Amino acid sequence: MMHEDQPWPGTWRTIAYQLLTLPVRIVEFVVLLVLLVAGIATTIVWVGIPLLMLATTLTHRFADFERRSLRRWLRTPLPDAIRNRGDGPVRNWFAQLTDATTWRDLAYLLITTPLAIVEFVLGVVSAIIVPLALTVAPGVGWLHGKLALTLLGPPRAERLEAKATRLQASRARGVDAAENERRRIERDLHDGAQQRLVSVAMTVGRAKAKIGGTEPDTAELQKLLDEAHTDAKLAVSELRDLARGIYPAVLGDRGLDAALSALAAKSPVPVSVSVDIDQRPPAAVESTTYFVVGETLTNAAKYADASDIRVDVRRDGDTVIAEVTDDGHGGAEIRPGGGLAGLADRAATIDGVVSVVSPAGGPTVVRAELPCSW
């Protein structure tokens, strides 16, 4: 699933993109320009038709290559293009000529070639002057991504329709997640604290019956009261754990850094925590981040056979990024009904995305991208 907005790209990935794409852009520009000029000039004698058909095909190939490069280097959320098709080479060509995607692809390829020269110079200077790299280069990459979204992305109407569909699906998943959470709380109350409180009531009742006798057995009364006291303390502890599972007090009082550090301290596997957020995000984002990290730590400790876990939470523009990396044996994936699928459902309630990269042999990286507005 992709967001429709351009995220803030990484500094060195942006510089690498600026340095590597100039030769490719020059080749694309020269090839297309030669084919277009030659094709238009010789159309009257029919020789230009095959040249223009080749130019159209190469325009699509070059634009698709640019989409993949932008996704990789600038993290631009560009879906694959959907183009009109026709039966046979000629009809297919005419269908592509009437498709706005073809002309937008061509416009991007022609416009960005002179821009690539400027970006290349900026990339060279940024690679030498670090302050410029940290301040200017990512901004230029962000602007390039916005231009690519405008020309290479789907039309605005399609983007809005896709966003509405995604939001509708995420809300439905959120309702299901909330219902599952309600059932879990109900089950925990029934199987835990409720049973303890029933036991306390029964024990106190037995003690009252002993007191009502002619000769109360002090030792037996003491035993019953101790038993009731123990059950009452266990009930309070279970209720406290249940409340912490709904919204931990340390998260509300002290924020993510303290709450995640508390989780790390309880983990049987060594966990390093890094939280780099200059101001507190909204409560919904904080709680989602907390539970994503908490569940991932639990899974890593139980199933991954990990010896080291890293938690990295940072702000990236208007998005909170939470990454949990472990050095376990890998093989994790999001399966329907599984724990990771539950995390994805929880993140979807705020239009967030959870992704998992876990090759065989590890490492495993669980990444949550949670949009928010400060």
Within-domain flag for 166 = no
Q: Please state the rounded mean pLDDT for residues 181-199.
A: 69
200 and 239 both lie in a single domain: yes
- Measured from the Cβ of residue 51, the count of other Cβ atoms closer than 10 Å reads 19
Question: What are the residue ranges of helices labelled H in 129-155?
Answer: 130-135, 137-152
Tokens found for residue 130: 């670090």
Pairwise CA distance, residues 365 & 352, whole Å: 16
- Omega before residue 131 within 30° of 0, cis: no
323: β partners: 312, 367
Q: What is the pLDDT of residues 331-363, one digit of tens each?
A: 888 777 677 777 887 888 787 888 888 888 878
Within-domain flag for 171 = no
Within-domain flag for 85 = yes
Rg from Cα positions in the chain = 30
Q: What's the CATH number where 291 sits? A: 3.30.565.10
143 and 17 both lie in a single domain: yes
Which of these three, 203, 220, 244, is where a domain ends?
244
Q: What is the pLDDT of residues 29-38, one digit of tens each?
A: 999 999 999 9
119 and 208 both lie in a single domain: no
Q: What is the pLDDT of residues 210-229, one digit of tens each?
A: 776 666 667 777 777 777 77
227 and 362 both lie in a single domain: no
Within-domain flag for 133 = yes
Structural domains counted in the chain: 3
276 and 314 both lie in a single domain: yes
Within-domain flag for 91 = yes
Residue 322 near residue 293, CB atoms below 8 Å: yes
- Show the domain range for 229: 182-244
Which of these three, 205, 223, 244, is where a domain ends?
244
15 and 150 both lie in a single domain: yes
pLDDT band at 1 (very low <50, low <70, confident <90, very high): very low
98 Cβ partners below 8 Å, 6+ apart? 84
